[in-house]
Amino acid sequence: MNQPLRQPLRITGSAKIDGVSIFSHLDLTLKPQNWTCLLGASGVGKSTVLRLFAGLAEGVCFAGDLSDPGHVAMMAQQDLLMPWLSVLDNVLLGARLRGARPDHDLARDRLAQVGLADHADKQPSALSGGQRQRVALARTLMEDRAVVLLDEPFSALDALTRAQMQELTAELLDGRTVLLVTHDPNEAARLGETILIMTPTGLLEIAAPTSPIPRDIHAADVLRAQADLFDHLRRPT
């Protein structure tokens, strides 16, 4: 792995798109080597925060301060698979774009880990939505980056597969600084070491369980954190 992040990352300020305010007075700090889960209503600016950290915020007018995270790995909500490439070549795309030597063995290992070993030579059009999302996850997990940004990475998966992919991702990203955007309170309670709700007026921190991640889905502290998140998310902003 690249050298782990030693210092926190911080974003403070406001953002607009086409003159419309996306968020204002935001002050978000990512602790190093920590999973931060960010929840909130649709349109509140969660994905915009990810894009700003990734340096992919074309069209966003940002006023404020932003830490430079260096090179990051990012998984967007859309799978962004190249339709003319095979599944295996999509997983290897990052290395090819960097001009690095593709590691076919590792790519096949990643596909096996996400349950798609038998699909390596298929085109993306032959896959279901959930399978495509797992290909995108495998591609992200190929990237040896200290900072990883995940935007709803398990949203298209059934409950059992989602739990399995959460566990795999937590294992493979151990020691990384991870920002996970999710709408799922249980997911945040399982994976979050810092749990934040983003609202139009700022951030609300919810006490996260203190046990190591990934946590048991039925653990009492996970269920308590999930209930707390549901209570706060239901409140009008």
Going by C-alpha positions, the residue among 176, 174, 212 that lies closest to residue 193 is: 212
SS3 assignment, position 155: coil
Q: pLDDT tens digits for 102-126?
A: 999 999 999 999 999 999 999 999 9
CA dist., res. 147 & res. 139, Å (int)? 15
* Dihedral sign computed on CA atoms, order 178, 105, 108, 120: positive
**What's the pLDDT at 149?**
98
Amino acid at 32: P
**What's the pLDDT at 29?**
97
Burial (Cβ within 10 Å: 0-12, 13-18, ≥19) of residue 228: middle
**What's the pLDDT at 201?**
85
Q: Give yes or no for a contact between 106 and 139, defined as CB atoms under 8 angstroms apart.
A: no
**What's the pLDDT at 48?**
96
Q: Give yes or no for a contact between 147 and 176, defined as CB atoms under 8 angstroms apart.
A: yes
Q: Give yes or no for a contact between 178 and 194, defined as CB atoms under 8 angstroms apart.
A: no
Q: Give yes or no for a contact between 131 and 122, defined as CB atoms under 8 angstroms apart.
A: no
Categorise residue 22: left if φ over 0, alpha if ψ from -120 to 50, beta otherwise.
alpha
Q: Give yes or no for a contact between 125 and 83, defined as CB atoms under 8 angstroms apart.
A: yes
* Segment holding 26, helix H or strand E: strand 20-30
| Degrees, nearest 5: CA angle 127-128-134 | 85
Would you write out the chain's pLDDT as a tens digit for each of its 237 residues? Answer: 568 888 999 999 999 999 999 999 999 999 999 999 999 999 999 999 999 999 998 999 999 999 999 999 999 999 999 999 999 999 999 998 888 899 999 999 999 999 999 999 999 999 999 999 999 999 999 998 999 999 999 999 999 999 999 999 999 999 999 999 999 999 999 999 999 999 988 999 999 999 999 999 999 999 999 999 999 998 876
Amino acid at 52: L
Largest CA distance in the chain: 51
**What's the pLDDT at 185?**
97
Q: How many CB atoms lie within 10 A of CB 144?
A: 12
Alpha helices in the chain (DSSP H): 46-54, 87-91, 93-98, 104-113, 129-141, 159-172, 185-191, 220-234
**What's the pLDDT at 1?**
59
Beta bridge partners of 14: 63
